[in-house]
A and B are shown apart, each in its own frame.
Chain A
Amino acid sequence: MSATGFTGIVVFVLFMGLMIFFSIINKDRKENNIRPIPGYDKINQEINVAVEDGTQLHISLGRGGITGPESAAALAGLSLLKQVIEKSSVCDHPPIVSTGNAVISILAQDTIRGSSKAISVGDQRRNPSGELIGITPFSYAAGALSTIRNDNVSANILTGWFGNEITWLTTAGERQSSSTIAGTAQLPAQAVIYASASDPLIGEELFAGGAYMGAGKMHQASISTQDVIRWISIVIILGGVVLNILGIDSFIEDILAGSM
């Protein structure tokens, strides 16, 4: 086994161990000690607005599939979709769901069906759609525009894998005076959403949706685990800087380069 493979297993076991540990120690804890993220507060607020005004939410899951590096963003979007559907079950109109990837479209429809059954929304006409609206970046953005321009849509939640075309969606939302909560894992597009979305989700905030929407203890354990690993990373980076200054960093590099 290579040093990289061994390191990977160690990291995986460390993450899994911490997640299980935090989910156990937080089992009986009632309060949520996590910093507020305005984007998720806004989603909860917009769900309440949709219930009271009889409007709809538009959830767009982006173009990411499940076989590439974009899969985690797409899966995080699906997780958020599940929570939003469950919370907005009392709305007169169900959320409209759009995707730019066929696999995510099928998973979205499956999630919708599963969540609707769980909350006993039997009427199929009330179920949100989850349709595929385009498979290239611009056809997807152009297809989503008509949904955003729907007068009955009060907020747009864009979570998943988006490129620079997301500026079309955020700008259209702004023109409609509807809130736009947007998050993506692609770096250039994060700069775009920071400039154009009313409530951007930056960096790892995209993956924290479950913890903020009440998806369960494991989601909160994920946040705690990320914090612990983040501190470990900071210590390692600072340690690397000190080693570099002392001139003994090549010793560590030699160890990492060698196989075990």
Chain B
Amino acid sequence: MNIKIKSPISTAIAIGVGIVVLAGYFIPSMTNIRFILLRTGLVLSAVALLVGIINLLTVHIKKLGAESENSGYSLILVIALLVTLVVGIIDMVQTYLVGQPNFQMTNWVFTYIQMPIETSLLAVTAISLTYAAASILRKRMDVFSITFFFVILLVLLGSFSIPPATLPFLHVIRDWILRVPALGGARGLLLGIALGTITTGIRILLGTDRPYSG
């Protein structure tokens, strides 16, 4: 069955819901309606997650069939996904039979597989960030990049607790950088992002920007 919501209807729903949710922030009597709409949105997001996972599974099963270069990764993904799904279903059935929460197997998967993998990847990220900082002068040799590089060095030196980086003036410089220029810059960026966020939202409320096939 192919249900296609015609564009004027989908646009009207998007604009209407957007206006009601926005009004809920400003007008106290509309707060309850805002919460109902947001909760509905969260439920729809959960359904979308299910659709996304099915889409992911379908794409990787197709890649297995195509015998591409990366089909080994696709095989691992499909097996891991199915095993985790089965484990979750078993835990849910046990919870239902016992009558109290029992997610031992799911917790085991997260504690002994997911967490160590994510922690290792976090360590790789630290190395990758160091590499990126070190290579910035190779990419762009301008005043801003040089400033960026030396500020990183100063802040890192001021953060060390081993000699000779424990010199008091380094800590003072680091604290000053973090409290004054870094905070000021961050606030400036946040102001810019806030302005961009508001105009993006208004374009969607006006219907001039439609991130759906409306």
A residues lining the B interface (CB < 8 Å): 1-2, 5-6, 8-9, 11-12, 15-16, 19, 65-67, 72-73, 75-76, 78-79, 82, 101-103, 105-107, 110-111, 113-114, 117, 129, 131-133, 135-136, 138, 141-142, 146, 164-165, 167-168, 170-171, 174, 185, 187, 190, 192, 194-196, 198, 202-204, 206-208, 210, 215-216, 218-219, 222, 225-226, 229-230, 233
B209/A210 in contact, CB under 8 A: yes
Which residues in window 192-214 of B have CB below 8 A to A? 192-193, 195-206, 208-209, 211-214
Complex contact A194–B25 (CB within 8 A): no
Extra contacts, 4 of them, besides A6-B26, A102-B52, A196-B135 (Cβ < 8 A), are A12-B202, A19-B206, A67-B45, A206-B196
Give per-residue flags for B26-58: 1 if the beta carbon is below 8 A from chain A beta carbons, else 0.
111000000000100110110011111101100
Q: Which residue of A lies closest to B193 (CB)?
A: A185
Point out the residues of chain B lying under 8 angstroms from A2, CB to CB: 28
A124–B59 Cα distance when bound, in Å, is 15
Q: How far is the CB of A83 from chain B (nearest CB, A)?
A: 11
Q: Is B196 in contact with A114, judged by CB distance below 8 angstroms?
A: no
B189 in the interface (beta carbon within 8 A)? yes
Cβ B189 vs Cβ A207 within 8 A: no
In contact, B199 and A226 (Cβ under 8 angstroms): yes
A195 touches B133 (CB 8 A): yes
B170 at the interface (CB under 8 A from A): no
Contact indicator A76/B200 (Cβ below 8 Å): yes
A5 and B25 contacting across the interface, CB-CB below 8 Å = yes
Complex contact B55–A131 (CB within 8 A): yes
List 14 A–B pairs whose Cβ atoms lie within 8 Å, in order of A's numbering: A11-B198, A72-B193, A72-B201, A76-B196, A78-B211, A107-B211, A107-B212, A111-B212, A132-B52, A146-B73, A167-B128, A187-B190, A208-B196, A229-B195
* In the bound complex, CA of A19 to CA of B208 (Å): 11
Bound-state Cα–Cα, A86 to B148, Å: 37
Known: A102-B48, A225-B199. A16 touches B192 (CB 8 A): no
Per-position 1/0 for B170-198, Cβ under 8 A of A: 00000000000000001011111101111
Q: Which residues of A contact B156 (CB under 8 A)?
A: none
With both beta carbons as reference points, the residue of chain A lying nearest to B77 in the complex is identified as: A143
Residues of B within 8 Å of A, CB-based: how many? 61
Residues in A whose Cβ lies below 8 Å from that of B135 = 174, 195-196
A218 in contact with B206 given A67-B41, A105-B55, A111-B211 (CB within 8 Å): yes
Q: Provide the bound-state CA to CA distance between A219 and B210, in Å.
A: 12
**Interface flag for B70 (CB, 8 Å):** yes
| A195 and B41 alpha carbons, distance in the complex (Å) | 36
Min CB–CB distance A38 → chain B (angstroms): 10
User: Quick check: is B67 within 8 A (CB to CB) of the other chain?
Assistant: no
Q: Contact between B199 and A5 (Cβ–Cβ < 8 Å)?
A: no
Q: Shortest CB–CB separation between residue A46 and chain B, in angstroms? A: 17
List of A residues within 8 angstroms of B159 by Cβ: none
Whether a CB of chain A sits under 8 angstroms from the CB of B139 is yes
Residues of A within 8 A of B188 (CB): 203
Please tell me if B121 contacts chain A, counting CB pairs below 8 Å: yes
Q: Would you call B191 and A230 a contact (CB within 8 A)?
A: yes
Q: Say yes or no for B22: interface residue by CB 8 A criterion.
A: yes
Could you tell me the distance in whole angstroms from the C-beta of A103 to the nearest C-beta in chain B?
Answer: 5
